[in-house]
Amino acid sequence: MKLQRFENASEFYDRVKDYLLSQEAMHNLLLGIANTLIHHPERYKSQPYLAIVEIDRDIVAVAMRTPPYDLVLSQSENLDAVKAIAQDLYLVSESISAVNGPTVESEAFAQAWCSLTGKSYQLKMAMRAFQLEQVHHISQAPGYLRLATDSDQELLLRWFEAFCLEAVGKVESDPQAWINHHLQQQAVYLWQDEVTVSMASRGQLTPHGVRINLVYTPPEYRGKGYASACLARLSQKLLDQGHKYCFLFTDLANPTTNHIYQLIGYRPVGDWHNYCFIS
């Protein structure tokens, strides 16, 4: 068993692409991060941790971390490989606050990391990865999908912060930078009725698909089908642009959204856990 680190994102991607594409939906987060590292490296301020574990030149595990964000793990049938990643991170004195990955792999890493550091871990969020290839027809809420513009900045900032607080209990370190980037990329969409009532964002790209994130409706507009309409229309728009798949992650603590997404045509492909570490 051999662990190899990479300094160059393109070289790393060339090596891991086939392995990650064997389960594109489950690996959409890693593929998307790799794509961003190659095409928009300015979005990350620190040197990333990019590593693979091999047995006889065959990859058995992949790990990525773009500080200050969580470590992200691939699927792996060899949990010793996951433990090797924990040992390597410990040796290079990486400070890890959380790990994100498929359920078995992320817990194996959490156990290994805590045995090395003396910390404890707890489940922060249980998630499910979904994939869509065709949008199902659903009854349409009133309104239409529109692209967000600079004039929406104040609303986007307010909704972005509300989404973060509701989803993970804290706000991203620089929400304005996120908004500026996504407006520049024409990636944020809003559902417009008599007023603006819901939003969703086109996220990172994979070779054959795109992830949708930040699906949010303020409490006063919920229960009217706006989020479903916004997500369904955006998903169809992205498929029409040539993407074969749309991906998204859901919080398993919210059964309503998990049900709605499946009505639209998203099918579950696997579960992910996010563990945080406590001193």
Candidate from 33-42, 53-62, 140-149 with smallest mean pLDDT: 33-42
- Answer for the pair 62, 71: CB distance below 8 angstroms, yes or no: no
The better pLDDT of the pair 62, 176 is held by 62
For 84-123, give the DSSP string: HHHHHHHHTT----EEEEEHHHHHHHHHHHHHHH--EEEE
Q: What percent of the chain clears pLDDT 90, i.e. is strictly above it?
A: 85
Q: Is a pLDDT exceeding 80 seen at residue 172?
A: no
The better pLDDT of the pair 92, 275 is held by 275
250-259 residue pLDDT tens: 999 988 888 8
20-39 residue pLDDT tens: 999 999 999 999 999 999 99
- Non-local (6+) Cβ contacts of 67 within 8 A are 44, 45, 46, 47, 48, 49
- Residues 212-228 have a mean pLDDT of 95
Give the predicted TM-score (pTM) of the model: 0.93
| Cis bond before residue 68 (omega within 30° of 0) | yes
User: Environment class of residue 3 by beta-carbon count within 10 Å: exposed (0-12), middle (13-18) or buried (19+)?
Assistant: middle
Domains in the chain with CATH codes: 2-128 (3.40.630), 134-243 (3.40.630.30)
- Answer for the pair 90, 260: CB distance below 8 angstroms, yes or no: no
Residues paired with residue 100 on neighbouring β-strands, in sequence order = 72, 274
